[in-house]
Amino acid sequence: MTKQPIGIFDSGLGGITVAREIARALPEEPLIYFGDTARCPYGPRDLDEVRRFVLEIGSWLESQDVKLIVIACNTATAAGLALAQQAFEVPVIGVIEPGARAAVMATRNRRVGVIGTVGTIESGAYAKAVRTLDAGVTVFSCATPRYVDIVEEGLRRGSGPVEDLLADTTEVFIRPSFYEISRDYLDPLRRCDVDSLVLGCTHFPLLSTAISQAMGTGVRIISSAEETAREVAETIARRAQRAPEGYAPVRRFVTTGDAHEFERLGSRVWQAPLGTVESVELAELSSLPRPDLIALLDSPGVEPTCA
């Protein structure tokens, strides 16, 4: 048993959809959620740059004595999960493998669609993860970067329950409309006859009602959040690292961006007040990774040999 927190991070607010599921599954666990809003979005960035961010934020979370790190961002998972697993002592869990597993379990016709950022889709990480689980499942992928902007704008401008606001308000301020954008993005996937669609970006669960409407009935919408929470629960249970029974945990929220805005918008995603949001400066973050971790950026995946 341990009272150490679980560290969770994303480029911004989207990963709160994953943190929410983890808190639901593990109500006694302390959490630290880190949103790198000053550098959001990650999706259009070079994956090498995102790998450096993964090392910085992972180092910061390690300095806070976390017992496990969740990369609650598909782009950062695609870019840096393996690197983070090499770099840090604590277990690191990403969101792509859990999402792929949920899709493999859900599909009946073995045709799965995946939408995500340019970085995630171009990495091919979902197709690889699905193939590893079931080589008979075909993955059809499409980058849908405007959905990230729509979520960010929807959160800023909308009001009311966050899961509905995007369907309601996107018609008002998005041009072309959400449904026109979705037709371009999703029609090719519909023509491929997918029966399941993975929301391969942690921002997208906030659009799931609208995306489901655009895909039409009969297509299951899959978010990796629940499956990720299950994996987190199993991992800490296996390591005998659950918080003590009846423990009242502290949940800390940290951002590199505007703390007030993070608190205002993040509370809508968290569905409860976040409380005071802490700030971390980018200059502090960039100084954190040790030289041996920085060296990993140049030699990822090198296997040691026994002479």
Catalytic residues: 73, 201
Q: Closer to ligand DGL by CB, 189 or 243: give it.
A: 189
How many residues lie near ligand DGL (CB under 6 A)? 17
Site residues for ligand DGL, 84-143, by CB under 6 A, read 117, 120
- In angstroms, what is the minimal distance from the CB of 197 to ligand DGL? 15
Q: Identify which range of 9-17, 180-188, 234-242, 289-297 contacts ligand DGL by CB under 6 A.
A: 9-17
Using the minimum distance from each CB to ligand DGL, give the nearer residue, 23 or 95.
95
Establish if 202 lies at the interface with ligand DGL (CB under 6 A).
yes
228 touches ligand DGL (CB under 6 A): no
Q: Is 10 in the site for ligand DGL (CB under 6 A)?
A: yes
Q: Which of 8, 26, 40, 114 binds ligand DGL (CB under 6 A)?
A: 40
Q: Which of 7, 41, 58, 289 binds ligand DGL (CB under 6 A)?
A: 41
Residue 203 within binding range of ligand DGL, rule CB under 6 A: yes
Instruction: Evaluate whether 204 touches 188 at the Cβ level (below 8 Å).
Output: no
Distances 200 to 53, 68, 215 between C-alpha atoms, Å = 20, 22, 15
d(CA 58, CA 61): 5
Could you write out the three-class secondary structure of 160-175?
CCHHHHHHHHHHHHCC
Phi-psi region of 174 (alpha: psi -120 to 50; beta: other; left: phi over 0): beta
In 3D space, the residue among 202, 208, 268 whose CA is nearest the CA of residue 40 turns out to be 202
223 token code pair: 């978010």
Among 57, 81, 114, 148, binds ligand DGL (CB under 6 A): 148
Nearest approach in angstroms of CB 204 to ligand DGL is 8
Q: Which of 112, 53, 56, 47 is nearest to 78 (CA)?
A: 47
CB of 153: closest distance to ligand DGL in angstroms?
13
**Residue 17: exposure state from Cβ atoms within 10 A (0-12, 13-18, ≥19):** buried
d(CA 197, CA 186): 10
What is the closest distance, in whole angstroms, from the C-beta atom of residue 252 to ligand DGL in the complex?
20
Contact flag: residue 257 with ligand DGL (CB under 6 A)? no
Q: Using an 8 Å Cβ cutoff, are 228 and 72 in contact?
A: yes
Among residues 42 and 241, whose Cβ is nearest to ligand DGL? 42
284, containing H or E segment = helix 282-286
Among 162, 201, 219, 280, binds ligand DGL (CB under 6 A): 201
Which residues contact ligand DGL (rule: CB under 6 A)? 10-12, 14, 40-43, 73-75, 117, 120, 148, 201-203
